[in-house]
Amino acid sequence: MSVIVAPSLLSANFGHLDRDLEMINRSSADWLHLDIMDGVFVPNISFGFPVLKYVAELCTKPLDVHLMIVSPDKFIDRFAEMGVMSLNVHYEACTHLHRTIYEIRKRGMKTAVTLNPATPVSVLEDIIDDIDMVLLMTVNPGFGGQKFIEHSIGKVGRLREMISRRGLNTLIEVDGGVDFETGRRLVDAGVDVLVSGNTVFASENPEETIRRLKSL
Ligand code: DX5
Ligand code: ZN
């Protein structure tokens, strides 16, 4: 099975969002990745519900939402109402992670836990059986176009080993600094889903770039 590719809208041109969404709809992208930042959990603010509502109406691909906010529990209902497919919450932002995960699942969304670069995969030991996906940050969250953090490759390997040891089918998604070179090595290390912002949207031919990422 080829790798799942989720372009990150953060790198799109927000002055021409309809044009970029039409490109995504035409492309071989599997999902659309949406980064919600609150300026507190991360040092940046992205976009919120009014933009998401517009995106949800126009985009034909499943929506993969990455919450970089404190207290994500407050907004689970709103994301479910918008038809979001998967909701990624940061381990570092959830005091009662098990409860948060069950609230997400109860509303019919796929559950995903996100880890910052400095958070080891060992913290997932007691939650991995309950989730559909792990999102490993391969840059510090907050901005597109950053440099890939090299130790992420070993981290993917350790997570792949944990998932196989338990006979699970939890997906591994990576986010940050994914290009053809890092993407190839991540796929070799056992990644199922590549998020890519800058590599897709800054390229001359984004549709072709998505096709190439899918063939890694
Ligand atoms: C960063 C975001 C990413 C970002 C990735 O905090 O979570 O989804 O858009 O951008 P690139 O692929 O440009 O590193
Ligand atoms: Zn993201």
Which ligand is closest to the CA of 146, given by its number?
Answer: 1
51 Cα: distance to centroid of ligand 1 (angstroms): 18
162 Cα: distance to centroid of ligand 2 (angstroms): 23
Mean pLDDT over residues 139-155, rounded?
Answer: 98
Q: What's the token pair of residue 184?
A: 């190839």
Q: What is the pLDDT of residue 123?
A: 98
Q: Which residues are CB-contacts of 90 (< 8 A; sequence separation ≥ 6)?
A: 41, 67, 68, 72, 113, 114, 115, 116, 141
Q: What is the pLDDT of residue 80?
A: 98
Nearest alpha carbon, ligand 1 atom 10: 144
**DSSP for 133-196?**
EEEEESS-TT-SSPPPPTTHHHHHHHHHHHHHHTT---EEEEESS--HHHHHHHHHHT-SEEEE
> Are 203 and 181 spatial neighbours (Cβ–Cβ below 8 Å)?
no
Cα separation, 136 vs 115, in Å, equals: 5
The mean pLDDT value of the chain amounts to 98
Q: What is the pLDDT of residue 1?
A: 73
Q: Which of 123, 137, 120, 134 is nearest to 168 (CA)?
A: 134
In sign, the C-alpha dihedral spanning 123, 126, 129, 130 is negative
Cα separation, 204 vs 168, in Å, equals: 39
Cα separation, 139 vs 179, in Å, equals: 13
Is 175 catalytic? The answer is yes
Within a 13 Å sphere around the CA of 67, how many CA atoms are in the beta-carbon half? 26
Mind listing the pLDDT tens digit for each residue in 159-206?
999 999 999 999 999 999 999 999 999 999 999 999 999 999 999 999
- Identify the active-site residue in 20, 30, 64, 175: 175
Output DSSP code: residue 38: B
**Unique residue bearing structure tokens 């709103």:** 78
Q: What is the pLDDT of residue 152?
A: 98
List the helix and strand counts (H, then E) for the chain: 8, 8
> Are 207 and 170 spatial neighbours (Cβ–Cβ below 8 Å)?
no
Q: What is the pLDDT of residue 25?
A: 98
Residues with CB under 6 A from ligand 1: 8, 10-11, 33, 35, 66, 139, 141-146, 175-178, 195-199
Is 132 catalytic? The answer is no
pTM listed for this prediction: 0.98
Mind listing the pLDDT tens digit for each residue in 26-59?
999 999 999 999 999 999 999 999 999 999 999 9
